[in-house]
Amino acid sequence: MHTTHEKFEEMATILKQEKIAEGIYSMWLGTKEIAAHAKAGQFVSLYCNEGSRLLPRPISICEIDQKEHAVRLVYRVVGKGTDEFSGMDAGMQLKVVGPLGNGFPKGEKKAFLIGGGIGIPPMLELAKELDCEKQIVLGFRDELFLMDEFKEQGEVYIATEDGSAGTKGNVLDAIRENALTADVIYACGPAPMLRALKEYAQENDIECWISMEERMACGIGACLACVCKSKEVDAHSNVKNKRICKEGPVFAAGEVDF
């Protein structure tokens, strides 16, 4: 399902930045073209201003505000690059390229929107764009974030590893504890969670769309760094590898092996 979307390179201005949980930041970026063209499930490449950091950081889009020409990125500080971003204030500028990758295919079936950890943010824009019955299931380590925004979009069920809120355990534990059902899964989160959801979808014979991540370099499909294994030979690579940045990051769970 590799299609070419128009990509834009912009110097974006930070409109607002705040810490929303320990190590997790929310940044609104003023980007005219990217905001106008982005869809839920796509990501942007964010470039560091510090010149020793050469590679862009791929960050999923959490919200799109076309009217205000802005996109919201919610990211975890995991290294020097994201640490640099987190120290920037409103008014400062960052180079950004996007929107990248393919978004989630949107239907009308009753849907599970499932996010785990830093895979939670992209599910927010999807929740806003989907016009169907939604059950939002979010898995946190401990501290919750983006809860108010999600509650505006539908029923929210949560799981925490330490049991401090919602179901103690993971997102599947929350689904079972609340006896939830749906006809399609949209998910983003750590690989073990996605693996469990792929299995759950197969057992229940429902559609399942997952958003994957991997270390990237170019972000546009040229360098072949961010591949994942595919079930069939991929049309572009001619081997059983798909580029997460280009054919993904959203895949039908059945087409990838991970």
Q: Is 212 exposed, middle or buried (0-12, 13-18, 19+ CB in 10 A)?
A: buried
Backbone angles phi, psi at 129, to 5 degrees: -85, -25
Contact between 69 and other proteins per CB under 8 A: no
As a whole number of angstroms, the distance between CA 29 and CA 15 comes to: 6
As a whole number of angstroms, the distance between CA 225 and CA 244 comes to: 9
Contact between 161 and other proteins per CB under 8 A: no
> Least CB distance from residue 57 to other proteins, whole Å?
10
In this complex, which beta carbon is closest to other proteins, that of residue 218 or of residue 253? 218
Contact between 13 and other proteins per CB under 8 A: no
Asked whether the beta carbons of 226 and 215 are under 8 A apart, the reply is: yes
Contact between 77 and other proteins per CB under 8 A: no
As a whole number of angstroms, the distance between CA 7 and CA 101 comes to: 10
Residue type at position 220: I
Contact between 97 and other proteins per CB under 8 A: yes
Contact between 183 and other proteins per CB under 8 A: no
The helices-and-strands tally (H runs, E runs) of the chain is: 6, 17
Asked whether the beta carbons of 147 and 156 are under 8 A apart, the reply is: yes
In this structure, the strands spanning 207-211 and 250-252 are antiparallel
Number of residues in contact with other proteins, rule: CB under 8 A?
Answer: 34
In this complex, which beta carbon is closest to other proteins, that of residue 90 or of residue 222? 222
Contact between 83 and other proteins per CB under 8 A: no
In this complex, which beta carbon is closest to other proteins, that of residue 43 or of residue 186? 43
State how far the alpha carbon of 167 is from the alpha carbons of 20, 110, 138, 163, in Å.
22, 22, 10, 6
As a whole number of angstroms, the distance between CA 255 and CA 212 comes to: 12
Contact between 165 and other proteins per CB under 8 A: no
Contact between 55 and other proteins per CB under 8 A: yes
Contact between 100 and other proteins per CB under 8 A: no
Q: Which of residues 205-234 bind other proteins (CB under 8 A)?
A: 214-228
Q: Output b/e per residue, 228-249; b: 16+ Cβ within 10 A.
A: bebeeebeeeeeebbbbbbbbb
Contact between 11 and other proteins per CB under 8 A: no
> Least CB distance from residue 227 to other proteins, whole Å?
6
Contact between 52 and other proteins per CB under 8 A: yes
Q: Which of 145, 189, 241, 250 binds other proteins (CB under 8 A)?
A: 241
Binding part of the chain for other proteins, among 6-14, 36-44, 117-125, 139-147 by CB under 8 A, reads 6-14
In this complex, which beta carbon is closest to other proteins, that of residue 109 or of residue 236? 236
Contact between 12 and other proteins per CB under 8 A: no
Contact between 147 and other proteins per CB under 8 A: no
Contact between 38 and other proteins per CB under 8 A: no
Residue 42 in tokens: 């796509």
Residues that bind other proteins (CB under 8 A): 4, 6-7, 9, 47, 52-56, 81, 97, 214-228, 236-241, 246
